[in-house]
C-alpha cells in the first residue's frame, strides 16, 4: 500500500478511531506476567559470542540491566530462556528458508513484543502519568532505508509500524497521534491501552513515584527499570544485514521523553558494508555518542573487527561517561559481538552453524 496524504476530514476520522480505541480501555486491570531468563555463559565483556562466520545468523537481546544471578530463580531464568529461544527460532526459520534479514528481525521482535516479560509491546513500562509510550525502529543494511515510530500508545507491534514507515512512506520517523493515523491507514493493529497493563510494571511505577517523593531517587525512574529494551540483528543468505529495536522506554519518564531506540544511528543501525547493531541501556548516552553508527563506522573506516569496535564503544566510550548498557552487533560474515557493561544482559544467537545459544549473566 503506497503512502498518501490524508484530507482534513479523513484525518479527523482517524483521530476519532484512535480515541475510540483509547476509550475502550479506561480502567487499568491486572494482567501480570514477570520476566524470565536464560542460562549463563562465560563470555567476558569484550568477547564475541560467536567468532566464526555463518551463511545466515540472527542475534537478539532482551535488555541490559542490574539483575544478578542470586536474584534470579531457576523458573524466572527458564522463562526468559524460552522466550528468547522462541524468537531466535522464528527468525532462524525465515533465514534458513532463504527469507530476508528484515523479515527475520521483524518476526523475532514481534514475538518479544507480544510477551509480557520484556519492556516492549505487551510488557512496556509506565510513564509518570500511568501510560505506556512505545518506540521502535528498523533498518535495512542493503539500502540504508530505515523507519521509526515514537510515543505511540495503541500500536500492538510497533516494530511492524516502523517497517511500514520505512516501506510505505517517504519518511524515516513518525510520532504520536500522527503515527497512529498512519497505522490505521496501513492496517496495522491497534489495541486499547489496557492491553499493555501488567501488574509488575504498574508496581514498578508506584515504587518509582514513592522514591521520587522521598527525593532519594533519580527523577525519571530507577536504573533497573529503564534498561529493558529488546532488539535483533540478522544476516540472510543474500548477504544482507538488518537491525531493529523496540521498547517501552523508561519507567516514570515525563514530558514525552524519547530515548535512543527509535533513533537511527543511536539505538539501531545497519549497513551491509560494516555491521548491524541494536542497543539497550541508558538512551541519553547512546544518543549523545551515536553508539550504533559509531560501531559500524569503526568497522568501516578503522577496519576494526566487530568485536573490537563494539567493545571500544560499550566498554570504553560509554563506561568513561557513566553510560550503562550493551549491544548486539553482527558483521557481514555473520560474526556476532554482544558486549555489555551492566551486571547482566539477556541475549542469544542462532546461526547456520550453531545454536540457539541464550545467555544472561557475565562470569
pLDDT per position as a tens digit, 237-246: 999 999 999 9
What local confidence, expressed as pLDDT, does residue 50 receive?
63
What local confidence, expressed as pLDDT, does residue 192 receive?
97
Domain count within the chain:
1
C-alpha–C-alpha distance, residues 284 and 291, integer Å: 10
What local confidence, expressed as pLDDT, does residue 174 receive?
98
**Residue 327: which H helix or E strand, with range?**
strand 325-330
* Structural domain includes residue 262: yes
- Is the pLDDT at 216 greater than 60? The verdict is no
* Structural domain includes residue 2: no
What local confidence, expressed as pLDDT, does residue 69 receive?
83
Enclosing domain of residue 176: 37-361
Banded model confidence at residue 35, pLDDT cuts 50, 70, 90: very low
What local confidence, expressed as pLDDT, does residue 109 receive?
98
Q: Which of 229, 245, 246, 251 is catalytic?
A: 229
What local confidence, expressed as pLDDT, does residue 199 receive?
95
What local confidence, expressed as pLDDT, does residue 23 receive?
44
What local confidence, expressed as pLDDT, does residue 65 receive?
87
What local confidence, expressed as pLDDT, does residue 68 receive?
83
- Residues in contact with 344: Cβ distance below 8 Å, sequence separation at least 6, in sequence order: 64, 65, 66, 67, 68, 360, 361, 362
* Structural domain includes residue 22: no
Q: How far is CA 260 from CA 185, 226, 315, 321, in A?
A: 26, 12, 18, 16
pLDDT tens by residue, 194-207: 999 999 999 999 99
The two most distant CA atoms of the chain are separated, in Å, by 59
Rounded to the nearest integer, the mean pLDDT of the chain is 86
* Structural domain includes residue 46: yes
* Structural domain includes residue 250: yes
More confident residue, 8 or 255: 255
What local confidence, expressed as pLDDT, does residue 213 receive?
86
C-alpha–C-alpha distance, residues 207 and 347, integer Å: 27
The phi and psi torsions of 112 (rounded to 5 degrees) equal -70, -35
pLDDT tens by residue, 283-340: 999 999 999 999 999 999 999 999 999 999 999 999 999 999 999 999 999 999 999 9
- Is the pLDDT at 24 greater than 90? The verdict is no
Catalytic annotation on 229?
yes
Residue holding cell 537511527?
Answer: 264
- State the pTM of this model: 0.86
More confident residue, 351 or 24: 351
Half-sphere exposure of 151 (CA within 13 A, CB side): 13
Banded model confidence at residue 96, pLDDT cuts 50, 70, 90: very high
**CATH code, domain with 181:** 3.60.20.30
Q: Nearest 10 degrees: CA dihedral of 114, 346, 327, 217?
A: 90
What local confidence, expressed as pLDDT, does residue 51 receive?
65
What local confidence, expressed as pLDDT, does residue 53 receive?
75
* Structural domain includes residue 166: yes
* Structural domain includes residue 26: no
- Is the pLDDT at 45 greater than 50? The verdict is no
- Is the pLDDT at 39 greater than 80? The verdict is no
Strand-pair category, 173-175 with 275-281: unpaired
- Residues in contact with 8: Cβ distance below 8 Å, sequence separation at least 6, in sequence order: none
- Is the pLDDT at 226 greater than 60? The verdict is no
Q: How far is CA 296 from CA 89, 279, 302, 339, in A?
A: 26, 13, 10, 15
- Is the pLDDT at 156 greater than 50? The verdict is yes
Q: How far is CA 75 from CA 37, 80, 81, 137, 254, in A?
A: 8, 9, 10, 31, 34
What local confidence, expressed as pLDDT, does residue 333 receive?
97
Say if CB 287 and CB 325 are below 8 A apart. Answer: no
* Structural domain includes residue 342: yes
- Is the pLDDT at 162 greater than 60? The verdict is yes
More confident residue, 189 or 39: 189
Amino acid at each position: 500500500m503506497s503512502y498518501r496524504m490524508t484530507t482534513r476530514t479523513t484525518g479527523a476520522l482517524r483521530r476519532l478511531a484512535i480515541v475510540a480505541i483509547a476509550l475502550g480501555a479506561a480502567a487499568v486491570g491486572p494482567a501480570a506476567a514477570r520476566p524470565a531468563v536464560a542460562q549463563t555463559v562465560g563470555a567476558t565483556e569484550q568477547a564475541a559470542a560467536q567468532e566464526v562466520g555463518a551463511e545466515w545468523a540472527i542475534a537478539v537481546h532482551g535488555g541490559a540491566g542490574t539483575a544478578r544471578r542470586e536474584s534470579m530463580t531457576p523458573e524466572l531464568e527458564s522463562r526468559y530462556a524460552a522466550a528468547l529461544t522462541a524468537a531466535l527460532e522464528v527468525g532462524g526459520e525465515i533465514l534458513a528458508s532463504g527469507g530476508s534479514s528484515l523479515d527475520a528481525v521483524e518476526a523475532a521482535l514481534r514475538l518479544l513484543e507480544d510477551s509480557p516479560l520484556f519492556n516492549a509491546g505487551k510488557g512496556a513500562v509506565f510513564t509518570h502519568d500511568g501510560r505506556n509510550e512505545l518506540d521502535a525502529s528498523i533498518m535495512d543494511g542493503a539500502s540504508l532505508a530505515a523507519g521509526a515510530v515514537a510515543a505511540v500508545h495503541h500500536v500492538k507491534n510497533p516494530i511492524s509500524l516502523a517497517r511500514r514507515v520505512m516501506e510505505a512512506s517517504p519518511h524515516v520517523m513518525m510520532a504520536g497521534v500522527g503515527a497512529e493515523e498512519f497505522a490505521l491507514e496501513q492496517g496495522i493493529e491497534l489495541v486499547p491501552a489496557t492491553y499493555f497493563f501488567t501488574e509488575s510494571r504498574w508496581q514498578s511505577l508506584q515504587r518509582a513515584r514513592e522514591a521520587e517523593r522521598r527525593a532519594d531517587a533519580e527523577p525519571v525512574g530507577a536504573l533497573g527499570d529503564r534498561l529493558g529494551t529488546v532488539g535483533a540483528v540478522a544476516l540472510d543468505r543474500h548477504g544482507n544485514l538488518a537491525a531493529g529495536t523496540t521498547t517501552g522506554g523508561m519507567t516514570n519518564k515525563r514530558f514525552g521523553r524519547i530515548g535512543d531506540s527509535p533513533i537511527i544511528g543511536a539505538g539501531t543501525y545497519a549497513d551491509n558494508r560494516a555491521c548491524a547493531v541494536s542497543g539497550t541501556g541508558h538512551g541519553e548516552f547512546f544518543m549523545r555518542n551515536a553508539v550504533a553508527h559509531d560501531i559500524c563506522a569503526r568497522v568501516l573506516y578503522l577496519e576494526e573487527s566487530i568485536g573490537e569496535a563494539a567493545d571500544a564503544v560499550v566498554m570504553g566510550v560509554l563506561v568513561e561517561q557513566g553510560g550503562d548498557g550493551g549491544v548486539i552487533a553482527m558483521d557481514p560474515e555473520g560474526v556476532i559481538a554482544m558486549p555489555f557493561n551492566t551486571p547482566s544482559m539477556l541475549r542469544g544467537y542462532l546461526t547456520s552453524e550453531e545454536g540457539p545459544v541464550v545467555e544472561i549473566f557475565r562470569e
